[in-house]
Amino acid sequence: MSDKTTSVIDLDWDAFDPWRIQPFRHRLTEHPLLQTEQLVELGKRCRGTKLWYAFSSDATAGTDFDDASNLFPTSKSAVDSLKDISSAKAWVLLRHIQADPTYRELVGAVINSMQPMIERKDPGVYYRAGWIFSASPNTATPFHIDRSHVFLLQVRGTKTVYVWDAEDTQVCSDRARDCFHFRHDLSRTLWSEEFRARAHVFELGPGMGVYMPLTSPHMVETSKESSTTISFTYNTDATRRNARVHVMREMLYKLGMTPPDYGKSRVFDQAAFAAASAIVVCRGPGAHPPACPSLRQKSAYAVAD
Ligand SMILES: [Fe+2]
pLDDT in tens, the chain (305 residues): 444 446 799 999 999 999 999 999 999 999 999 999 999 999 889 887 777 777 777 778 887 766 555 555 555 677 888 888 888 888 889 999 999 999 999 999 999 999 999 999 999 999 999 999 999 999 888 999 999 999 999 999 999 999 999 989 999 999 999 999 988 888 899 999 999 999 999 999 999 999 999 999 999 999 999 999 999 999 999 999 999 999 999 989 988 999 999 988 999 999 888 888 887 755 655 555 556 778 878 899 998 87
Helices (H) and strands (E) in the chain, counts: 6, 12
Give the Å distance between the CA of 302 and the centre of ligand 1.
Answer: 15
Give the Å distance between the CA of 254 and the centre of ligand 1.
Answer: 27
Give the Å distance between the CA of 282 and the centre of ligand 1.
Answer: 31
Domain residue limits, the chain:
9-237, 240-295
- pLDDT digits over 178-215, tens only? 999 988 888 899 999 999 999 999 999 999 999 999 99
Residue 172 CA to residue 170 CA, distance in Å, equals 6
Residue 189 CA to residue 201 CA, distance in Å, equals 19
Give the Å distance between the CA of 66 and the centre of ligand 1.
Answer: 12
Q: What are phi and psi of 99, to 5 degrees?
A: -75, -20
Give the Å distance between the CA of 139 and the centre of ligand 1.
Answer: 15
Beta strands in 1-76 (DSSP E): 9-10, 22-26, 52-56
Which residues have a Cβ under 8 Å from the Cβ of 63 and sit 6 or more positions away?
70, 71, 140, 142
Give the Å distance between the CA of 60 and the centre of ligand 1.
Answer: 14
Nearest Cα to 133, choosing from 278, 233, 231?
Answer: 231
**How many residues in total does the chain contain?**
305
Other C-beta atoms within 10 Å of 254: how many? 11
Contact yes or no for 249/174 (Cβ under 8 A): yes
Nearest Cα to 64, choosing from 144, 119, 176?
Answer: 144
- pLDDT digits over 51-100, tens only? 777 777 777 888 776 655 555 555 567 788 888 888 888 888 999 999 99
What is the predicted pLDDT for the residue at 59?
Answer: 77
130: three-class secondary structure by DSSP: strand
CATH of 9-237, one of 3.30.1950.10, 2.60.120.650, 1.10.3720.10, 3.40.50.300: 2.60.120.650
What is the predicted pLDDT for the residue at 86?
Answer: 83
Give the Å distance between the CA of 143 and the centre of ligand 1.
Answer: 8
Give the Å distance between the CA of 147 and the centre of ligand 1.
Answer: 9
Contact yes or no for 240/268 (Cβ under 8 A): no
Give the Å distance between the CA of 142 and the centre of ligand 1.
Answer: 9
Give the Å distance between the CA of 146 and the centre of ligand 1.
Answer: 5
